[in-house]
Amino acid sequence: MPIHEQFLSAVDLETVPLIRTRMLVVGCGIAGLAAALAASRRGPVVMAAKSVFMESNTTYAQGGIAAALAGDDDVDLHIRDTMEAGGGLCDEPAVRVMAEEGRIRCRELIDMGTPFDRVDGELAFTREGAHSRRRILHADGDATGRAITATMLDRVCRTPNIHTLENHFAIDLLHADGVCYGALFLDTKYGRLLRVEASATVVATGGLGQVFRETTNPAAATGDGYALCYRAGATMEDMEFVQFHPTTLYLAGAPRFLVSEAVRGEGAHLVNQDGERFMSRYSKAGELSPRDVVSQGIFKELNRTGDAYVSLDLRHVDPKLIETRFPTIMSVCAEFGLDIRKDPIPVRPAVHYMMGGVRTDLDARTDVKNLYAAGEVACTGVHGANRLASNSLLEGLVYGCRAGMADAADAAPPFPAPTLARSMPPKGARLDVDDLSRSLKALSWRNLGVYRNGIHLAETVETLKAWMRYVLAEQFQMRPGFEVQNMLTVGFLIAGSALARTESRGAHQRSDYPEADPAWARHSCVAIDKDAS
């Protein structure tokens, strides 16, 4: 039956085609791949992706993966650097798990065949902002994420215990009485519903950058996993902490392409339109300060000069090093007439990464039974108020593996009759989804950006409440409609959490509360009203 016909009547889950498995993994980035591989050692796994498997935030990761593997490095130094960057909100046990197990997991990636760059046969490491050592592993120069994804995906596809589903959008989690039993999917290629029931479900859906107008994230990063877990009753933590990458390509008609932090790690200077290095005005560490500090410094400089962008200058860097380390960045910039060996790169900040997310413990458990979260969608406490560069891939690898090794209850089918978080039956979409999406992105960029204030945050909360009153009651037949519902939910969670945190800390900067408040040296939490669900 075509999907629109199904949605024009009440969805009877018993009539939807069913797959049962030990573990369901929703997402195909590094966390989802790690979870699927780990879980396959214990039983059958279904791994579902909303698009094709190579389309994830991991694939677009340039800089690398941080691990204390170099001879002059150790785990305690990595932990210290991470904690210092996190604005006092990193959970030390979670950071230690990531740093210690990260070395093991990275060695497994090497053994799996990941083509990390080498010099004279030895692993090559680079340094990025706020790292005290050169500990960043990279592959194909600036294509680390793509190399890792390809290697892990090849292993997944050759593992008999893993059943893969491309182009399957997770509409909602199936849950009853505080227990998750799987998810309902829309097969976007053929317009069919599919129910996957599982003893354990891992949500590893990546980020939410598309909630904002300016972002480095791919089009698929619409915050689906945050909304899925929130609707199912999971607690969301630190949703106000959205990281802005300080250097994204800023040219008319060009995508907001990320220019890796490793460019500054290899010696690039940030300069204003007069060619003057300016970061020393705002931080002693200059260009190698944590990302929040560099992003804020750039915005302060732009406000001071009235310009629209600053520039990354590599003209003093060895051209051979540039060609070897940054072939992807060179190629993209060349498409727009820039030779980065000779021309400064125009850049400004854009939304890049979410530090907050679904609250988990050290084994990736949420507070919904049999529901786990890993990767960017999860809040393990590793990043605190500001993520240290190249810790994201490491966190996804470590905690994805932990989620996959979960001792989920082997609930025998038939499962209890699960419920959907979305109301049924659908009414049929009447909204201009594209216009709503553009309006949300503009509102978020304007009021939830690098600098925030209480008046605009309160305005955003009320605006999103009004939009949500009619949009969340609407039922759609296609992926874009479901995505915009998820984006509204996520935007509302960010705005409400940002309004509540009356201080400035890490990536959360309030012009009306410009200082950090010791009383706020704690995590923020929000969960749906269980009675209202």
For the domain covering 428-514, report its CATH number. Answer: 1.20.58.100
Please choose, from the candidates 242, 214, 527, the residue with its C-alpha nearest in 3D space to the C-alpha of residue 376: 242
Confidence at residue 142, expressed as pLDDT on a 0 to 100 scale: 87
Question: How far apart are the C-alpha atoms of 64 and 315, rounded to whole Å?
Answer: 23
Confidence at residue 425, expressed as pLDDT on a 0 to 100 scale: 42
Q: What is the CA radius of gyration of the chain?
A: 22
Question: How far apart are the C-alpha atoms of 384 and 240, rounded to whole Å?
Answer: 11
Taking a C-beta distance cutoff of 8 angstroms, is the pair 220, 61 a contact? no
Enumerate the β-bridge partners of residue 46. 24, 163
Residue in the structure block whose two tokens are 């500054």: 264
Confidence at residue 426, expressed as pLDDT on a 0 to 100 scale: 46
End-to-end CA distance of the chain: 29
Question: How far apart are the C-alpha atoms of 278 and 268, rounded to whole Å?
Answer: 13
Ramachandran sector of residue 386 (left: φ over 0; alpha: ψ -120 to 50; beta: rest) = beta
Please choose, from the candidates 399, 62, 500, the residue with its C-alpha nearest in 3D space to the C-alpha of residue 245: 62
Confidence at residue 201, expressed as pLDDT on a 0 to 100 scale: 96
For the chain, domain boundaries:
3-241+355-404, 245-350, 428-514
The two tokens of residue 465 are: 């409440």
HEC per residue, 181-207: EEEEEEECCCCEEEEEEEEEEEECCCC
Chunk the chain into consecutive blocks of 10 residues (it has 533) and report each block's average pLDDT, rounded to whole numbers.
Answer: 35 82 96 97 95 91 92 96 96 98 97 96 90 94 93 97 97 92 94 94 97 94 97 97 94 86 91 96 90 92 96 96 94 95 96 97 96 98 94 97 77 53 51 93 97 98 93 81 95 98 97 97 89 37
Question: How far apart are the C-alpha atoms of 287 and 289, rounded to whole Å?
Answer: 6
For the domain covering 3-241+355-404, report its CATH number. Answer: 3.50.50.60
Buried b (16+ CB within 10 A) or exposed e, 126-139: bbbbbbebebbbbb
Catalytic member of 103, 146, 291, 387: 291
Question: How far apart are the C-alpha atoms of 514 and 525, rounded to whole Å?
Answer: 22
Q: Decide if 422 is catalytic.
A: no
Ramachandran sector of residue 87 (left: φ over 0; alpha: ψ -120 to 50; beta: rest) = left
Full DSSP string of 99-146: HHHHHHHHHHHHHHT--B-EETTEEPEE--TT-SS--EE-BTTT-HHH
pLDDT tens digits, one per residue of 256-314: 888 988 899 899 999 999 999 999 999 998 998 888 899 999 999 999 999 999 999 99
The two tokens of residue 361 are: 């413990």
Question: How far apart are the C-alpha atoms of 24 and 263, rounded to whole Å?
Answer: 38
Taking a C-beta distance cutoff of 8 angstroms, is the pair 60, 143 a contact? no
Give the pTM: 0.91
Domain 245-350, CATH class in plain words: alpha beta
Full DSSP string of 479-492: HHHHHHHHHHHHHH
pLDDT tens digits, one per residue of 327-369: 999 999 999 999 999 999 999 999 999 999 999 999 999 999 9
Question: How far apart are the C-alpha atoms of 83 and 381, rounded to whole Å?
Answer: 10
